[in-house]
Amino acid sequence: MTDTVRLTVNGRTLAVPTGATVAVALAIAGDACRTSVSGEPRAALCAMGICFECRAVVDGALHQRTCQIVCRDGMEVRTE
Amino acid sequence: MTRSFDIVVVGAGPAGIAAACAAAEHGQRVALLDDNPAPGGQIWRGPRTAHRDAVSRAKERWLHRLQQNAAITSLHGCRVFDVAGDGLLAAEQNGQRVELRYSKLILATGARELFLPFPGWTLPGVYGAGGLQAMVKAGLPVRDQHVVVSGSGPLLLAVAAYLREAGARVAAVCEQASWSRLLRFGASIAPTSRLWQAAGYRWRTRSISFRASCWPVAAHGSKKLEAVTLSNGVRQWTVTCDLLACGFHLVPNTELASLLGCALQQGFVTVDALQQTSIANVFCAGEPTGIGGLELSLAEGEVAGLAAAGAIHAAQTHVPRRDRLRSFAAQLATTFALRPKLRSLPEADTIVCRCEDVPWRTVSQYTGWRTAKLQTRCGMGPCQGRICGSALNFLLEWTPDSVRPPIFPVSIASLAGPTAPAQAERSAIQEN
């Protein structure tokens, strides 16, 4: 097992520690997870699957709570 | 797909793990479900830490006991969203509907942090206290990042110690409770190992300024957090920081208990001496019965697991220890009760409902949760009011509405149930 995995965040390739969640990858990339209904940038708050602020598109699936998903090699993440 | 078990345990934190182990060791076939990708709950989240303390030792002992037991089926990334019938739960795992049949059910759904809205709290970089710790445990690097830890509860010092050891520069720990309350708390835990635990955290954070009667009043930044303004009720000052870890202690996750019809009192699930709820065959253990921390959760989990397995005598042997630990829960509630002044944290344009962006100005016009929901969509987003509902319970003393399924947003396919594919097929045939 290598100690990093590589994924793309909004088209940019990024290496993150093995075991990192997608919410962590988004924070490392410096990208907000989503834009709120009034246009504000939002990112993870609770980091335990409750608040839904960290939701993003993971491998084409919409509205995924990225704090509950562990990064895998080749994963594609887009912010909402 | 329907899977059948003697006992289904919902929540794989300390209470759920203890319940599952105790029941399985008494011959029961147990399913242990959790929404998270791995067992351990919030307190035992993440990889092994360098620092060896009572929490990490208990974690290793219990995770080992869990992994040794072949009678326990662990289902991770699995969340219960509905009651599908008598003794039947509907859950979603990997986007698929799973139905779980049980003879006995143990709810160990844990707690979440209480977040209070203040100007700027929606900025990226503002996390819960446990929230930031969970992010760091999940790989977020914080070396040389400037952090303020604030809010309330014994978690704050533990989080500050953890962040400091991860290389963060913790500018301050700000606890809203007063020194007089904290000292009384210290005196009350003096005869126990908890004082040593607290002293240990304080030693590990000795270089960090600890302020009692202090809380955040505003977070600043354009696209992300840049600074936070703190208050001690007399004066305000602003600290530059990259991250704010802010949580106002914990609130129990009682949605599933409510959906099942379990009686609640003051927001907590009512249980008898053997952790049985008001509903037959449904037990509850850990934070949903009262916020009491790790040791109480383990004790309640053991009582619930043994009682559910029918090992009543064995369950009763854990009762005295559990009852002693419960007095600690009462002390926590008194010590970290929120000061009324925090009710003035939100300003007119502060967003209260983060899912639907409803500001305080709009929400506070209403007299109750139900009308506010209907008129403003407050609490109608994907978190289903778990964040704003808990905040409004404190800010306006609104009691939460009744719980309706699904208690978590799920795909239409999962919601439709196991008959859906067959129906779809039939209608396709009819169209042909």
Number of domains forming the structure of chain A: 1
Contacts of B266 (CB under 8 A, 6+ apart): none
B99: tokens are 């139905």
Query: What tens digit of pLDDT does each residue of B61-95 get?
Result: 999 999 999 999 999 999 999 999 999 999 999 88
Query: pLDDT for B394-426, tens place per residue?
Result: 999 998 888 899 999 988 889 888 755 444 443
Interface of A with B (CB under 8 A): 16-17, 19-21, 23-24, 27-28, 32, 36-38, 40-53, 55, 61, 63, 67-70
The complex's ipTM works out to 0.97
Instruction: Report strand pairing: B111-113 vs B250-252.
Output: antiparallel
- Tell me the pLDDT band of B191, cut-offs 50, 70 and 90: confident
Q: State the Cα–Cα distance between residues B379 and B356, nearest whole angstrom.
A: 8
What's chain A's length in residues?
80
Q: Over the range B15-54, which residues count as b (16 or more CB within 10 Å of their CB) and which as e?
A: bbbbbbbbbbbbebbbbbbbbbbbbbbbbbbbeeeeeeee
**Strand locations in B249-394 (E):** 250-252, 264-265, 268-269, 282-284, 351-353, 358-359
Grouping H, G, I as helix, E, B as strand and the rest as coil, residue B229 is: strand
Strand B88-93 and strand A4-9: pairing?
Answer: unpaired
Band of the pLDDT at B195, cuts 50, 70, 90? confident
Cite the DSSP H helix spans in B118-265: 129-137, 155-165, 179-188, 193-204, 255-260
Which domains occur in chain B, in start order? 2-112+251-333 (3.50.50.60), 115-248 (3.50.50.60), 346-395 (no CATH)
CB atoms closer than 10 angstroms to residue B159: 29
The residue of chain B with its CA nearest to that of A5 is B139
pLDDT at B429: 36
Contact assessment for residue B99 and residue B3, using Cβ atoms and an 8 Å cutoff: yes
Q: What is the arithmetic mean of pLDDT over A40-59?
A: 97
pLDDT, tens only, B21-58:
999 999 999 999 999 989 999 999 877 666 677 888 99
Min Cα distance B250 → chain A (Å) is 12
Q: Does B371 touch chain A (CB under 8 A)?
A: no
Tokens of B38: 């791995």
Query: Which pLDDT score, from 0 to 100, does residue B400 have?
Result: 82
Tell me the mean pLDDT in the region B368-391. 95
The string of pLDDT tens digits covering residues B143-153 is 999 999 999 99
pLDDT at B146: 98
Q: Which stretch of DSSP H or E encloses residue B150?
A: strand B146-152
- Tell me which of B29-38, B161-170, B194-203 is least confident: B194-203
- Half-sphere exposure for B81 (CA within 13 Å, toward CB): 24
Cβ–Cβ under 8 Å, residues B26 and B123: no
Whether residue B60 has pLDDT greater than 80: yes
CATH number at residue A21: 3.10.20.30
Res B422: pLDDT: 44
Q: What does the alpha-carbon distance between residue B78 and residue A9 come to, in Å, rounded to a whole number?
A: 26
Closest partner residue to B47 among A19, A23, A63, by Cβ? A19
Dist CA B170 CA B180 (whole Å): 24
Give me chain B's average pLDDT, please. 93
What is the average per-residue pLDDT within B223-246? 97
Binary contact (B127, A42; C-beta < 8 A): no
Q: Tell which wins on pLDDT, B51 or A51.
A: A51
CB < 8 Å & 24+ apart, contacts of B415-419: B415/B81, B415/B82, B415/B97, B417/B84, B417/B90, B417/B97, B418/B1, B418/B2, B418/B97, B418/B99
pTM: 0.94
Query: Residue A68 is nearest to which of B36, B386, B387, comparing CB atoms?
Result: B36
CA distances from B162 to A67, B52, B143 (A): 19, 12, 12
In chain B, the percentage of residues whose pLDDT exceeds 70 is 96
Task: Verify whether the Cβ–Cβ distance B387 to A51 is below 8 Å.
Answer: yes
Identify from A7, A18, A22, A53 which residue to disrupt to test chain B contact, counting B C-beta atoms within 10 A and taking the largest count: A53
Question: Looking at per-residue confidence, does B49 or B271 come out higher?
Answer: B271
Question: What was the pLDDT predicted at B417?
Answer: 80
Pair B275, B269: CB distance under 8 Å: no
Asked if B252 and B111 touch (Cβ cutoff 8 Å), the reply is yes
Q: Please report how many Cα atoms fall inside a 13 Å half-sphere around the Cα of residue B42, on the Cβ side.
A: 31
Cis peptide before B406 (omega within 30 of 0): yes
Percent of chain B with pLDDT over 90: 83
**A19-31: per-residue pLDDT in tens?**
999 999 999 999 8
Strand partners, B211: B174
Paired residues of B175 in beta bridges: B151, B212
Residues A38, B357: C-beta atoms closer than 8 Å:
yes
Range of the structural domain that residue A48 is part of: 4-78
Provide mean pLDDT across the span B304-320.
Answer: 98
Reported residue count of chain B is: 432
